[in-house]
Amino acid sequence: MFAFSAINLGCSKNMVDLEFAIGEILKYSDRAEIEYVEDPEARETDYVLVNTCGFLSSARQESEETLSYYDSLGKKLILMGCYVSVKDDAFLAGLKNLVSIVPFMSYSVIEELVLGKKSKFNLSAIVKAKQAHKQSKEKTLSNYLASIEAPGKWKKAFVWRGDEVRAYMHAPFGHEYLKVAEGCDNNCTFCIIPTIRGRQTSRSMESIIQEVNVMLSQGISEIQIISQDTTRYGTDLYQEAKLIELLQKIDATIDEFVIKNKSKHTPTYRVYYLYPDILTLDHLSKLKDLKHFLPYFDIPFQHASENILKLMGRHYDRKHIDSFIEYIRDNFPNSFIRTSFIIGFPGETDADFQILLDFVNKYQFESVGIFEYHDEPLAASSKLPNKVEESIAKNRIKEITPVLNAVYDSKKQARSGKIQSGYIMDIKDTSAIIRPQMAAPEIDDYDEIALDKITGNIEIGSHVSYTL
Ligand code: SF4
């Protein structure tokens, strides 16, 4: 029996890799006894898949602590994720139960792990054979996967892509992540993701649309489009940015699905990690014509002072981002702007910070992530002069936080008494936790609503309307 569980550390992009790794294990269910166990600490859990993060030294530390903890419980460890690219071999050598390291984006080691042997066949023979049996194998496997005792919450949703299988663990909450590219061509001085994940590698439009169709057929009604730099989708594969064309294709695919299935609820999609430098007002104007695009703009500006943007290696200026935000506010009535800022970046003066304060006051963003600068030893910025004292950075965060909270409170106030819509994320005795339609899962604020104020089917993942 291969009884395994899984832990995800890090971002949604990492999570997608974990879902493929879980799918990859379950793929062998017709040749081995396999059980997915929800609780990694459970007695029956033999193997724990630890999907690590390595983006910051604090994340690497958390990854090592997690590995040490499950090692001390005697669990067989399968290591994957970003930590693998920046791993500390001495630390790993100290683990007693590390049985496998899954290299980035290649899951072939899993076969040997699950089946206990490496298939001796030569690859071309396998490919030919698989092509021949793909249809029937896919059918049998999907039927089998649908029947296994995977935890009720996600047992029915899998995709078979070429040779890979993915388990959709968010499907019952009504949404799922669609990763359209990996890696990044930018070199922001505070970031080591290009070191960990390599250069921009876009998926083909065909494979993305194929997966969109599978998601829709699995009842997923909100698709989260992610990558490191989504604006640059296609620049590697098609030698030009093809994000708008991709979104137009996804929009048409949803249209076809809705018409063919007469589905009551119209699926939507949201785009993350819009890197603002090559995005133009013309791009934005084309977004206006898309029917299923949620006017949610996730644009990590990171700062508003041009002095700091230069030191960060970010290639845009205030004139560009101001015109951007104003176009969004003027042309997308229910626009929701999500952004993030790093505070305490080397060289940040009081004047730079004041520019940032004025920026958030002026544009009243719906959701802001605030990060205290972290001197990441593997990043270029760690070599920059004029480091900001920790206490000053903390005081600046103390100063900007109430400004942001005041914006959130006034926006929440503006919603009260009005009919809202959203997805049920959890149900309590007399209330339910609802993710408002415009709020991103696991990032933005949810609402807690009394059950009698909700209209619709009160079930996890269902789309309902309610009054705040
Ligand atoms: S855009 Fe910058 S911050 Fe984002 S992944 Fe690329 S290098 Fe890192």
Q: Which tens digit of pLDDT belongs to each residue from 39-96?
A: 999 999 999 999 999 999 999 999 999 999 999 999 999 999 999 999 999 999 999 9
Model confidence at 127, pLDDT cuts 50, 70, 90, reads very low
CB 324 within 8 A of CB 281: yes
In one-letter notation, the amino acid at residue 143 is N
Centre of ligand 1 to C-alpha 206, Å, is: 26
In whole angstroms, what is the distance from residue 41 CA to residue 7 CA? 11
Q: If you average pLDDT over residues 205-229, what whole number do you get?
A: 93
DSSP structure class, residue 289: T
Q: How confident is the model at residue 231 (pLDDT cuts 50, 70, 90)?
A: very high
Mode of pairing for the β-strands spanning 2-8 and 34-36: parallel
In the three-class reduction of DSSP (H, G, I as helix; E, B as strand; rest coil), residue 290 is classed as: coil
CA-based nearest residue to 312, from 302, 322, 298:
302
Neighbours of 368 (CB within 10 A): 18
Give yes or no for a contact between 248 and 255, defined as CB atoms under 8 angstroms apart.
no
**Average of pLDDT values for 146-161?**
48
- CB–CB of 40/6 below 8 Å? yes
Closest atom of ligand 1 to CA, residue 187: 7
Which atom of ligand 1 lies closest to the CA of 190? Answer: 3
159 has a pLDDT exceeding 70: no
Say if ligand 1 is within 6 A of residue 382 CB.
Answer: no
Contacting residues for 367 by C-beta, under 8 A, at least 6 apart: 336, 337, 338, 339, 408, 439, 440, 443, 444, 445
- For residue 447, the tally of other CB atoms under 10 A from its CB is 19
Mean pLDDT, the chain, integer: 89
Å from CA of 393 to ligand 1 middle: 22
Bridging pattern class, strands 222-226 and 268-271 = parallel
Pocket residue to mutate for ligand 1, from 229, 345, 374, most atoms within 8 A of Cβ: 229
Strands 175-179 and 222-226: parallel
Summarised one tens digit per residue, pLDDT across range 289-337 is 999 999 999 999 999 999 999 999 998 889 999 999 999 999 998 999 9
pLDDT per residue over 258-300, tens digit each? 989 887 778 999 999 999 888 889 989 999 999 999 999 999 9
The residues near 246 (Cβ < 8 Å, ≥ 6 apart) are: 180, 205, 208, 233, 234
116: nearest Cα among 71, 76, 72, 166:
76
Instruction: Give the pLDDT confidence score for residue 276 in this predicted structure.
Output: 87
- pLDDT tens digits for 17-33? 999 898 888 888 778 88
Q: pLDDT value at position 171?
A: 87
Does residue 379 have its Cβ closer than 6 Å to ligand 1?
A: no
Closest CA to ligand 1's atom 8: 191
Q: Is the pLDDT of residue 150 over 70?
A: no
- The token pair at 423 is 């997805």
Tens-place pLDDT, residues 344-367 = 999 999 999 999 999 999 999 999
CA of 188 to the centre of ligand 1 (A): 6
Q: Is 198 in the pocket of ligand 1 (CB under 6 A)?
A: no
Neighbours of 252 (CB within 10 A): 14
pTM of the predicted structure, to 2 decimals: 0.89
**How would residue 121 be classed by pLDDT, with cut points 50, 70 and 90?**
very low
Q: Residue 372: its pLDDT value, please? A: 96
Q: What single string gives the DSSP state of each residue in 57-106? A: HHHHHHHHHHHHHHHHTTPEEEEEEGGGGG--HHHHHT-SSEEEE--TT-
Question: Residue 442 — pLDDT band, cuts 50, 70, 90?
Answer: very high
CB of 196 closer than 6 angstroms to any ligand 1 atom: no
- How far, in Å, is the centroid of ligand 1 from the Cα of 382? 16
